[in-house]
Chains A and B, each alone.
Chain A
Amino acid sequence: MLEPLYRWIWHHPGRRARKLFSFAAVEADGGRDLVRAAELTRDPLLRRLYLAHASDECRHAGLFHDRGVELLRDNPAANKGSVFQAEWLAPGERGLDDLRVEREGDGALLAFLHLSEKAAARSFALYRNALPDDPATRSVFEKVLRDEEFHMKYTRAQLSRIEPERQRVLIWRARLGRLWKGYLRLAMALAGAISGVILTLLYFIVLPPFALLAKRAMRREPQGWTAIPIVQGGAPGKRSQP
């Protein structure tokens, strides 16, 4: 149902390149978080798997980045001017979504990773299908998708291994956690928009007289050195005291 929307979003080469760059940044961040998870876990097998996963994320970042560079190189005009980025309509992987790795146990982390990889795989499959005329970018998504599939499987299998009793609970908890984070993102965006409107109104309604004063003060501000007041015997002035 969303395919026409995705086709539109991915049609513009400049937007396509910038989305790939942002995916690259998220993959690289996610990779670093996984490295941290590997450093913190006491389970040797998980450590190796996290490191392998991190290495995949790093490779994905490179794939996305390089394809973005190619797109801009082949379409120099695409980089000019600002283009609507449609971040909300076509998000990439969210990495660990601000999950503080050091505060989570392996079970919670695996459950979260499993769902995260699943959601990313779903999105990337949709984006791949929205790019019938760009085989090179399709191929990038296909390569990434293959890895995501493995990541989904290993996280689920490891969750079963280390938390056989609580795996379903952990998955549900992770699902609720993702929902909560989604709500927080929405709430933050709304709060940001509302505060932005209020501050902009304040800026234009209340601040103009102060702006005049500030401009006048700035004109009077001498350029060059400003002496720092010194009081008694070279000790710093009043404003210098903690």
Chain B
Amino acid sequence: MNILGISAHYHDSAAALLIDGLPIAAVQEERISRRKNDSAFPIGAIEWCLGHAGLEPDALDAIVFYERPMLKFDRVLTGLLGSFPHSRRAFAHAMKNLLGEKLWMRGIISSELGVRGSKVLFTEHHQAHAAAAFLTAPTDKAAILTADGVGEWATLTVGQGERRTGGPTTITLRREIRFPHSLGMLYSTFTAYLGFAVNEGEYKVMGLAAYGQPNMVDKVWRTIRRTPDGAFALDLDYFEFHSTTARSYSKRFVDLFGPSRRPSDPINFDTAEGRRFADIAASVQRVLEDILVDMARVLHEETRLPDLCLGGGVALNGVANARILRESGFERLFVPPAPGDAGCALGAALYADRVSFGNPDRDFPDHPFWGPSIDESDLVRLAGEDGLAAELSDDRRLIEMTADDIAAGHIVGWMDGALELGPRALGHRSILAAPHSTAIRDRLNRDIKYREEFRPFAPVVPIEEADRFFELPPGGDRLARFMSGVFPVRQEWRAQLAGITHVDGTARLQALPREMAPRLHALLGAYGRRSGIPVLLNTSFNLSGEPIVNGVVEGYSTFRRSGIDILIAGQNRLAKRRARSDAGEEQAA
């Protein structure tokens, strides 16, 4: 069967293609359209997926959308009516938005792809999250927990999944917490209050939290309380996301926590105001962790299963994930590389294939590389046109040279094979540097990433060496496979790993198995032979405000516009020197 999964229209739209139960292609629309967090109908991603497989839309047996538009409409309308008459502006906005396009997905998909409407199917949003988490994990039976801002009505679900290779699959979500009570919305509200963009700045809140003390936990607990049955409920007097589009927190929220931060204001930890914001971030982070850990613990007691699959945007919180692994009783925690909405494209297709159509289970390849591959000849052409010479080397020599470059303090743009699905660079579209000093971190922030100083950079380490440098609990190496957990850097290595050690002594590491990205693994080995430390700083290959690079043309333009010293695309290496002076270009113009 050929099944296409689609997620769209909220944030991070994507498409994924399954053929006979196995993934063939999956990519986020932003990587194709080059608009960060592109939420538009992912026509570019769909075209690429179909083109990659050599299929015409007619050949698809089903197209599965990742949520039920009517249920979502029901939730939005009920919520707006429930906050009558304060929701008058939000009502007009939401109706224009939903009635304009989002409600008619069957027709839109059918007309965009030219397929019969009967081929268009729908899963529930959290079923797609659950499938993306469980059916991509190497486990036969696991508890499942999904948490995000909101899908249709559900904001958090728990259940379990069971499958047998070649046999049937069941995914049973037992209970849910419904909108407006949402951990994702709680965290996003604090994200907005702290002056960061919602659906983008949540990472920043997590990074900021390490600079603060959780001394406002009591205040956060006034905005959310545990219910007697072990769930939670928001005190809606502190929130406005359910009734307005103007802002997500209320005046009472501001009375409780003080004035919000303007997005344009820098965060200065030397000021009382800067420390207050950090303390608020630390407090909401602590509350989020406590709730998730407690829910996971209860789920473990109920299921008595060793494995937990975690899905939904909240699963991107690596600090919380690490605590769940340590404290909930589960032995292994699986978080897919794209636990957010982009991964729902894959989840929706998998759910339809295994559960709805009852097709036999197939083992899912345990890597995130489902996007377009690089065309190395592009680098040769582009460099040649700019008077530069790309150098073609055999693998071994290239890796030794790159290790030398990094050891010499150079920053390397690294492109290899197919693009990752998900928000993290996991070894195929990375910027790599030596991890030893804060100077390189500052240089990356200043000359390449153009981002806040308080945000940490992540390390990548061969999985077999991870425990030497990082304090990993049992199962930690698995969680670190896709950079989904934050763990302490061992005390004795912190000084030598200052570039990737966060202020609280932790790092969001990637523990890399050789089979997942052999060339990067080899590079880590080569670098280790030079420095004694086979660890590299690994950050996504993009500039501020841009999606991760896709093809060589984007990698090359990023290389040209930033302080990256060396660009590697496959077996080609390009070193920077100024091609022509700007004055020369102006003259030429």
Contacts of A203 in B (CB 8 A): 84-85, 88, 91-92
A195 touches B171 (CB 8 A): no
Secondary structure of the A contact surface, majority rule: helix
Task: Known A48-B585, A227-B174, A241-B356; judge A54-B124 contact (CB<8 A).
Answer: no
A224 touches B229 (CB 8 A): yes
B127 within 8 A of A: yes
Secondary structure of the B contact surface, majority rule: mixed
B355 touches A236 (CB 8 A): yes
Residue from A48, A211, A223, A236 in contact with B386 in the complex, judged by beta carbons closer than 8 Å:
A48
Contacts of B231 in A (CB 8 A): 223-225
Most buried by A among B557, B579, B580: B557
Segment from B175-183, B397-405, B418-426, B505-513 that makes contact with A: B175-183
Segment from A36-44, A128-136, A170-178 that makes contact with B: A36-44
A72 touches B386 (CB 8 A): no
Report how far A239 CA is from B95 CA in the complex, Å.
Answer: 24
A199 touches B82 (CB 8 A): no
A35 touches B92 (CB 8 A): no
Shortest beta-carbon distance, A49 to chain B, in Å?
6
Shortest beta-carbon distance, A199 to chain B, in Å?
4
Shortest beta-carbon distance, B87 to chain A, in Å?
8
Residue from A51, A52, A215, A224 in contact with B557 in the complex, judged by beta carbons closer than 8 Å:
A51
Contacts of A211 in B (CB 8 A): 81-82, 84-85
Contacts of B589 in A (CB 8 A): 45, 49, 153-154, 157-158
B444 within 8 A of A: no
A199 touches B262 (CB 8 A): no
Interface residues of B in 253-297 (CB under 8 A from A): 262, 264-265
Task: Known A36-B34, A38-B557, A65-B264; judge A208-B84 contact (CB<8 A).
Answer: yes
Interface residues of B in 542-589 (CB under 8 A from A): 545-546, 553-554, 556-557, 560-561, 579-580, 582, 585-586, 588-589
A214 touches B82 (CB 8 A): yes
Report how far A208 CA is from B84 CA in the complex, Å.
Answer: 8
A124 within 8 A of B: no
A-contact bits for B78-114, CB 8 A (1 contact / 0 none): 1001101100100110011000000000000000000
A48 touches B181 (CB 8 A): no
Report how far A226 CA is from B230 CA in the complex, Å.
Answer: 12
B392 within 8 A of A: no
Shortest beta-carbon distance, B588 to chain A, in Å?
6
B172 within 8 A of A: yes
Interface residues of A in 159-211 (CB under 8 A from B): 192, 195-196, 199-200, 203-204, 207-208, 210-211
B560 touches A51 (CB 8 A): yes
Task: Known A65-B264, A203-B92; judge A240-B545 contact (CB<8 A).
Answer: no
Report how far A221 CA is from B79 CA in the complex, Å.
Answer: 12
B498 within 8 A of A: no
In this complex, the interface size class of chain B, counting residues with CB under 8 Å from chain A, is 35 or more
A5 within 8 A of B: no
Contacts of A218 in B (CB 8 A): 78, 82
Quick one: closest A residue to B266, CB to CB?
Answer: A69
Beyond A45-B585, A226-B178, 14 extra complex contacts between A and B, CB < 8 Å:
A35-B561, A65-B264, A153-B589, A203-B85, A203-B92, A204-B85, A214-B78, A223-B231, A224-B229, A224-B232, A224-B233, A228-B159, A240-B123, A240-B173
B interface, CB within 8 angstroms of A: 34-35, 62, 64, 78, 81-82, 84-85, 88, 91-92, 95-96, 121-124, 127, 157, 159, 162, 170-178, 181, 227-233, 262, 264-265, 351-352, 355-356, 382, 385-386, 545-546, 553-554, 556-557, 560-561, 579-580, 582, 585-586, 588-589
Show 27 A/B contacts (Cβ-Cβ < 8 Å), sorted by A.
A45-B588, A49-B585, A49-B589, A55-B561, A65-B264, A72-B262, A72-B264, A79-B262, A199-B92, A200-B92, A207-B91, A210-B81, A213-B81, A215-B81, A215-B84, A224-B177, A224-B231, A225-B227, A225-B229, A225-B230, A226-B175, A226-B178, A227-B174, A228-B176, A236-B172, A240-B123, A242-B64
